Amino acid sequence: MVSLDNQVVATALPVIRVQLHASLASLEWTVNAYTLSFAVLLLTGAALGERLGRRRMLAAGLGLFTAASAACALAPDVGALVAARAVQGAGSALVLPIAVAMLSAGFPPERRAWATGIFMAVTGFAVMAGPVVGGAVAQGLAWQWIFWLNVPIGLVLIPLILTRLTDGAGGTGASLDPVGLVLATGGALGLVWALIMANSIGWGSPSIIAALVAGAALVAAFVGWELRTATPMVPLRLFRLPAFAAGNAVCLCVFAVLFGMVFFMAQFLQTGLGFSPFGAGLRLAPGWGMLTVIAPFSGRMIRRLGERVLIAGGLTALAGGLTWIALIARTGLPYGELVVPLMLAGAGVSVAIAPTQSVVMTAVPAADIGKAAGTFNMLRQLGGVFGIAICAAVFAAHGGYRSPATFVSGFEPAMLACAGIGLAAVAAGLFLPRRRAVSSLVLSVPSGGESHQIHHESTYTTG
């Protein structure tokens, strides 16, 4: 549910734009409100699960997500939809990290990889299916049913969570960082709001300048606070590790490209080329389908070639595919001409995602894996927010929704902006240290009252 709702509105955006009389900025917020609240609350959600009990907070998060889904479906205007999407993102921030923690605690070490593999397959399929499901529902029923579908699932799952699951190692009193949360949220909100509104208000507008300055100041204050506090939301000391810093920079850029590409490709297929919502979702499948083709071989490729080669090569292919799409984009473009560049872009990002996560997680000491994972996931979601905001700012400066031709006029530079972000990720990947010999560390840690062994591979020297 959480992964599907990250992308499910993509192919419904043109329908929502018409029925709710939404502007480009409003369309951006229907995606970004969810992703932004999801991103900045992820680490807080994980901490709440550890402090107050995983089972209780998982049920609370799912209840919030379900109620917000109903509010999205009932939204009378785009403002109400955006507000409900923000609440939905907050529910997701509780659900996802706690679900992952409970999954890990619920299986013995010899079965944990199997369970995690199923979990990743399901979430990966949900991300891939999001545009198709969104298009099918928007066309066959109504866009509101994208959100109504969550309600019965949530109502069934909440009592099962409360009666069939146990807390495991939750309820340990983990510390929160409310000051860091407020500073991070305010900084990200100020910068994103300025990027989204600048083209309609004007880049020289006092409100835009004030938002940019305030956002930058809050981000700087967040960094200063995290360096001083004893319980940081983001452990900035880990960014002293070259592999961790460069890997997270790559992550931010990769997901900026992904979200920006899906946001505009789904609209290009409908507004620019005239396909139905369901038809647009199906036509995005060749790109997303590469994830299922390449993902099973990612571990073998990492061991053989190393992360840096895969990241640089994959993201170069991604940038090449997006540049190709930008160069051929036009009204009346036969869909067949899009298949190969879509597959090239999909293959490129599929090759790069796994080694990006691998390089971040193997760069840190075993004791910091949880914090490293939380930081990685937060930056991944923030990357999506900034990717849509940046690409939409480029689109608004060159095109609009007045006709298919004006849409294409903005779509072309937006895709080139996505390609540019992809090349920035390549540059960040070049700062990754070379892969070293693998050393194994075996820890014995308590989990659910028992002692389990965790094997952590360190492939980079950490000083």
Taking only the tens place, the pLDDT of each residue in 363-377 is: 777 667 767 777 787
Q: What DSSP character marks residue 401?
A: S
What Cα–Cα distance (Å) separates residue 260 from each residue in 141, 273, 420? 26, 18, 12
Contacts with 158 (C-beta within 8 Å, 6 or more apart), sequence order: 59, 62, 63, 66
CB 385 within 8 A of CB 192: yes
At residue 77, the 3 state secondary structure works out as coil
CB 419 within 8 A of CB 323: yes
243-433 maps to CATH 3.40.50.1100: no
Question: What is the reported pLDDT for 418?
Answer: 92
Handedness of CA 342, 345, 349, 351 (dihedral sign): positive
Cα-Cα-Cα-Cα torsion 214, 215, 216, 219, nearest 10 degrees, comes to 120
Q: What DSSP character marks residue 321?
A: H
Secondary-structure percent of the chain, ordered helix, strand, coil, rounded to 5: 80, 5, 20
> Comparing 208 with 323, which gets the higher pLDDT?
323
State which CATH number among 1.20.1250.20, 3.30.1020.10, 3.30.565.10, 3.90.1150.10 fits the domain covering 1-174: 1.20.1250.20
- Reply yes or no on whether the pLDDT at 290 is more than 70: yes
As given in the structure block, the two tokens for residue 29 are: 């917020």
Domain boundaries, the chain: 1-174, 177-230, 243-433
At residue 403, the 3 state secondary structure works out as coil
Alpha carbons 205 and 208: distance in angstroms, whole number:
5
Q: What's the rounded mean pLDDT across residues 116-131? A: 69
At residue 332, the 3 state secondary structure works out as coil
The DSSP result for 299-351, as a single string, is HHHHHHH-HHHHHHHHHHHHHHHHHHHHHH--TT--THHHHHHHHHHHHHHHH
Question: What is the reported pLDDT for 341?
Answer: 93
Alpha carbons 395 and 46: distance in angstroms, whole number:
36
Is this prediction's pTM over 0.85? no
Alpha carbons 51 and 182: distance in angstroms, whole number:
19
**451 burial class (0-12, 13-18, 19+ CB within 10 angstroms)?**
exposed
Question: What is the reported pLDDT for 444?
Answer: 36
As given in the structure block, the two tokens for residue 113 are: 């990889």
* Chain segment 38-68, per-residue pLDDT in tens: 877 877 787 788 778 888 889 999 999 999 9
CB 237 within 8 A of CB 372: no
Alpha carbons 425 and 251: distance in angstroms, whole number:
8
Lowest mean pLDDT among 107-116, 129-138, 202-211: 107-116
Question: What is the reported pLDDT for 113?
Answer: 60
Alpha carbons 184 and 43: distance in angstroms, whole number:
11
Alpha carbons 146 and 132: distance in angstroms, whole number:
11
